[in-house]
Chains A and B, each alone.
Chain A
Amino acid sequence: EAQVTQNPRYLITVTGKKLTVTCSQNMNHEYMSWYRQDPGLGLRQIYYSMNVEVTDKGDVPEGYKVSRKEKRNFPLILESPSPNQTSLYFCASSFTSGGLRTQYFGPGTRLTVL
């Protein structure tokens, strides 16, 4: 089954404790992205990657890091989490074929930073 998986699905942590949210896709997609979703602000792109070792900042990259060492994986790293990073996070992957682009989202990771 074609899917994007994220782990963990729920996480409660404390300020300053480094954490990693993993994202994996089994569709051999080139593009992968991370978003955060907050009430009243909608979905905002954190980082995206157009292929292995190629990443770029989205609209809200501060406080986050990413890496793309393999095509299927795109982890999101919070080196020193703060309470304002409490949010619902989504990973997505997409491909372009024949001019049409289709994006698949993961199930989300709900992060609480105390």
Chain B
Amino acid sequence: EDQVTQSPEALRLQEGESSSLNCSYTVSGLRGLFWYRQDPGKGPEFLFTLYSAGEEKEKERLKATLTKKESFLHITAPKPEDSATYLCAVNYGGSQGNLIFGKGTKLSVKP
């Protein structure tokens, strides 16, 4: 069964239409949750790391939050250049090296 689930799989927004992406996880002993942005044909680009429930991080139009079971990536007043696939990953258990990724949410922002 999936340990990291992202929803929706795809999201289409109009420019300026705020929304949220979800990442739910079922692992125990969470060490950290990570958000990345990936453009077609390129490597993922690091956005945020969250470590504990209640934590929030912001960067430009993006805000990431974390609870004990899920994380949200809020996008405020998106622009077409925010179009990309957003990936969530978790590190859990005894090793800092092991990461499990969700399958991503493909975001399209139309002008």
Residues of A with Cβ closer than 8 Å to B?
A: 4, 31, 33, 35, 40-45, 48-50, 56, 58-59, 90, 92, 96, 99-108
Contact = CB atoms under 8 A, between A and B. Distances in A.
Given A31-B96, A50-B96, A101-B32, A44 B46 contact: no
Interface stretch (B14-22, B37-45, B68-76): B37-45
Q: Nearest 9 CB-CB pairs, A to B?
A: A105-B43, A48-B97, A42-B103, A43-B101, A105-B44, A42-B101, A50-B97, A90-B43, A108-B43
Interface string B94-111: 011111111110000000
B42 A42 contact: no
Dominant secondary structure of chain B at its interface with chain A? loop
Contact of A43 (B42, B44, B51, B96): B44
Contacts of B25: none
Contact of A45 (B45, B96, B98, B103): B98
